[in-house]
């Protein structure tokens, strides 16, 4: 008995009355005539307020075993002097291509882009990338209106990566949004996207950033090898002086004592010969070591094959103003319809809650 009473209280779902819904919308169609034109005006203002921007894309393929050919030849030549380059990864590479996007986002790399020189097409005024973003970059009006931008531009100071100024941090943040590096994990291709508000500047920056990336990686990956090479070259320079001094001393002694047969003179000549040979061997060994360190520097130097070079974009990448208008009008129509159905008590019926 109780079960039957419970069952009678369960309401059966009512079919949606599309006719009533359409009639409710039809009766309030004047609301659309007010909302949609206002929305269209707002959408046009917003779409026109967003500055036009351009994108330039560069695609690179990192060469495996960069510098391997030249390094192998130098290594073979060094081994002929009895110096081995050793096994393993000579470059000591701690930055693989998969980490390049994070490297580009680093403060050190972003601030290294500040001095890059750019200029607009047919414009003789050359400026740094920092000054371009600071003085030439346009923002939508609401950025200033809502105080999202810095209230005033600060005086330029030297860049200290440990403690950037507010203005430098803002510019670095803009670079972080406008310079994007992506890695295809399947093909290991590196794509660098550069966004600017001038097509010519976009191409200039994309090419410069590609070169700066290679320089940055080269400095990092060859740092220890270059330090070792500089130290070995310093020792080689000193060793050459010592060898030339010992040779000159030996030659002068032999010239001055050609007819002397004293045993003490012969012993002194032998000592000079031994010292000359020692200096020569030392010089020869250091020469081989310098050659070996040059091979290590060459082996650690990264190289890229450019699959798509920087070119001036023919058209803007955005904003997609037609899409902005479509989205605004769609949302306005949607929310207006929901409001009408709610006011006419048809919303619950449509949602199956009646």
Count other Cβ atoms within 10 Å, centred on residue 180: 16
Q: How many CB atoms lie within 10 A of CB 305?
A: 10
Plot region of 249 (φ>0 → left; ψ -120 to 50 → alpha; else → beta): alpha
- Confidence (pLDDT) at 158: 86
Q: How would residue 168 be classed by pLDDT, with cut points 50, 70 and 90?
A: very high
Q: What is the rounded distance in angstroms from the CA atom of residue 47 to the CA atom of residue 321?
A: 5
Lowest mean pLDDT among 69-73, 166-170, 174-178, 265-269: 69-73
* Spatial distance between the Cα atoms of 135 and 196, rounded to a whole number of angstroms: 13
Query: Quick check: 67 pLDDT over 50?
Result: no
Q: How sure is the predictor about 40, in pLDDT bands with cuts at 50, 70 and 90?
A: very high
H/E stretch holding 58 = strand 54-62
pLDDT tens-digit readout, 107-128: 999 999 999 999 988 888 899 9
Partners of 305 in beta bridges: 61
Residue 319 has pLDDT above 80, yes or no: yes
CA of residue 293 relative to chain centroid, distance = 29
Listed range (10-24, 43-57, 240-254, 329-343) with the worst mean pLDDT: 10-24
Q: How confident is the model at residue 70 (pLDDT cuts 50, 70, 90)?
A: very low
80 C-beta neighbours (distance < 10 Å), count: 9
Which is higher by pLDDT, 344 or 79? Answer: 344
The percent of residues above 90 in pLDDT, for the chain, comes to 51
The three-state secondary structure class of 297 is helix
> Which H or E run contains 201?
helix 199-221
Asked whether residue 87 carries a pLDDT value surpassing 60, the answer given is no
Q: And the tokens for 322?
A: 């037609």
pLDDT at residue 85 greater than cutoff 60: no
Largest CA distance in the chain: 142
How far is 150 from 321, CA to CA, in rounded Å? 27
* Residues 232-259, mean pLDDT to the nearest whole number: 90
Q: How far is Cα 308 from Cα 351, in angstroms, rounded to an integer?
A: 53
């Amino acid at each position: 008995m109780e079960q039957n009473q419970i069952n009678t209280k369960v309401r059966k779902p009512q079919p949606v009355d599309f006719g009533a819904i359409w009639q409710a919308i039809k009766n309030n169609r004047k609301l659309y005539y007010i909302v949609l034109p206002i929305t269209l005006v707002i959408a046009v203002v917003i779409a026109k307020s967003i500055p036009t921007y351009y994108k330039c894309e560069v695609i690179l393929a990192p060469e495996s075993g960069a510098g391997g050919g030249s390094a192998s030849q130098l290594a073979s030549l060094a081994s002929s002097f009895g110096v081995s380059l050793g096994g393993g990864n000579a470059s000591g590479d701690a930055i693989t291509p998969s980490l390049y996007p994070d490297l580009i986002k680093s403060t050190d790399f972003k601030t290294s882009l500040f001095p890059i020189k750019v200029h607009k097409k047919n414009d003789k005024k050359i400026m740094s990338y920092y000054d371009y973003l600071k003085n030439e970059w346009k923002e939508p009006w609401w950025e200033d209106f809502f105080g999202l931008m810095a209230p005033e531009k600060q005086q330029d100071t030297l860049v200290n990566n440990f403690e950037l100024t507010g203005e430098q941090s803002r510019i670095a943040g803009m670079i972080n949004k406008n310079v994007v590096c992506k890695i295809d994990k399947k093909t290991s291709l590196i794509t660098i996207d550069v966004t600017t508000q001038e097509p010519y500047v976009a191409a200039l920056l994309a090419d410069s950033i590609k070169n700066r990336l290679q320089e940055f990686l080269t400095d990092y990956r060859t740092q220890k090898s270059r330090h070792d090479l500089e130290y070995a070259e310093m020792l080689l320079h000193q060793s050459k002086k010592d060898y030339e001094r010992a040779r000159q001393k030996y030659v002068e002694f032999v010239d001055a004592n050609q007819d002397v047969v004293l045993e003490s003179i012969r012993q002194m000549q032998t000592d000079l010969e031994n010292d000359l040979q020692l200096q020569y061997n030392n010089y020869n060994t250091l020469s081989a070591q310098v050659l070996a360190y040059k091979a290590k520097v060459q082996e650690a130097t990264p190289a890229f094959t450019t699959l798509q070079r920087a070119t001036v974009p023919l058209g803007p990448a955005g904003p997609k103003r037609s899409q902005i208008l479509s989205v605004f009008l769609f949302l306005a129509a949607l929310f207006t319809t929901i409001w009408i159905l709610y006011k006419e008590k048809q919303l619950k019926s449509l949602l199956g809650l009646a």
